[in-house]
Amino acid sequence: MLHCRPGEQGSLWAGLYILLRHSARGQYDKSTMSHLILQQHVSPELGAFPHLAGFACRKIQQVHLNSFPVAVSGCLQVWYVQEGKFEWLINQRQEMLYPGDAAIVLPGQSIGSEKGWLDVGTCWALDVVPEIFEAGNFVPGPWSGLPPAESRAIGRLFSMNPNPVLARFTEAAHLFDELQRELVSREIGYTVRVNHRIDDLLIGIARQLSRQHQLQRDFPQTFLKLERALRTNLDQQWLVEEMAVLVGMGTTAFTEKVKAHTGFTPLHYLINIRIAEAIRLLKNTSRSVTDIALSTGFYSSQHFATTFKKLTGYTPRQFRTNHTGLSE
């Protein structure tokens, strides 16, 4: 499990902590949109949320040196800019954030300002510690209401997204505002509400990210990206739902679009790619049929052989001898 501890080297909260000490505003008032910094193990507000490393609404009225150095994050961080203009280095990319923009930083990625400090303005930050976040798998934890397949799809979408900034993601303002209110007021049912808002935020980001693919405008282009994702993860099982999420569509619309564009259902199209790659491996390598079957995403060599024979009339072994010139 990944942890972000306050004050730990490499944690974003290290910088904020220093800043907090510099700031005269150690206390916060109970209205929303006020300066507020909550940290796990320090702030009682987060006691009910072990999966939150921190929550902050930062109003910066004065620049503090070394308040925001570039550091690797151990958490899933979501930032939202309310006021001001911030120039950050996120995952080694120079990014400019304006009011209404959000940024997402994955565990293992870095964020900070090259100058080392936060500019004047207002921004929100949320630090979530996922139970698992790795290639092809994302498990937020028991607090989340997302079904496993959907959180896996969201994880894939986050990992494959090259651009950490979501432009004009204004719905985040509302969610952060509510999160803050709930965390501070601790009214009845607040734990449920807080966890729901975090789910809402993840869902909102996922939808916005997939919309950024501009799929309506350029389905062939979008489809090419999906195709690349499928090819690089060919050994994995794919549900139609997961493919649809990657391109930001509902399953029904996605299936229809793919059918119109390629002439195949998404799963049949995937079989095309699997078989094509299997043929390449049969011809070019001496790897065993079982090995090829598994690396091209078939459950077993039987499953592979049946599918292969149904399509080509050959068993994979026959195909190998017949199409490599060895028999000719």
- Minimum Å gap between C-beta 275 and another protein is 5
Residue 41 main-chain phi, psi, to 5 deg? 70, -10
Q: Are 60 and 119 in contact (CB under 8 A)?
A: yes
| Sites for another protein among residues 250-269 (CB under 8 A) | 257, 261-264, 268
Strand, coil or helix: 202: helix
Q: Are 292 and 282 in contact (CB under 8 A)?
A: yes
| Sites for another protein among residues 15-54 (CB under 8 A) | none
Q: How many residues bind another protein (CB under 8 A)?
A: 37
Q: Does residue number 223 form part of the binding site for another protein (CB under 8 A)? A: yes
- Minimum Å gap between C-beta 24 and another protein is 50
Q: Does residue number 280 form part of the binding site for another protein (CB under 8 A)? A: yes
If we measure between CA atoms, which residue out of 176, 125, 173, 127 comes closest to residue 4?
127
Distance CA 140, CA 189 (A): 20
If we measure between CA atoms, which residue out of 248, 216, 256, 251 comes closest to residue 229?
248
Tokens 């690797």 locate to 72
Q: Does residue number 233 form part of the binding site for another protein (CB under 8 A)? A: no
Residue 3 main-chain phi, psi, to 5 deg? -130, 145
**Position among 65, 96, 135, 224 found at the interface with another protein (CB under 8 A):** 224
**Position among 26, 31, 286, 326 found at the interface with another protein (CB under 8 A):** 326
Nearer to another protein, 41 or 283 (CB): 283
Nearer to another protein, 114 or 291 (CB): 291
If 0-12 CB within 10 Å is exposed, 13-18 middle and 19+ buried, where does residue 238 land? buried
DSSP secondary structure letter of residue 191: H
- Minimum Å gap between C-beta 111 and another protein is 31
Nearer to another protein, 148 or 250 (CB): 250
- Minimum Å gap between C-beta 163 and another protein is 19
Positions in the binding site for another protein (CB under 8 A) = 214, 216-219, 223-224, 227, 257, 261-264, 268, 271-273, 275-277, 279-280, 283-284, 309-314, 318, 322-326, 328
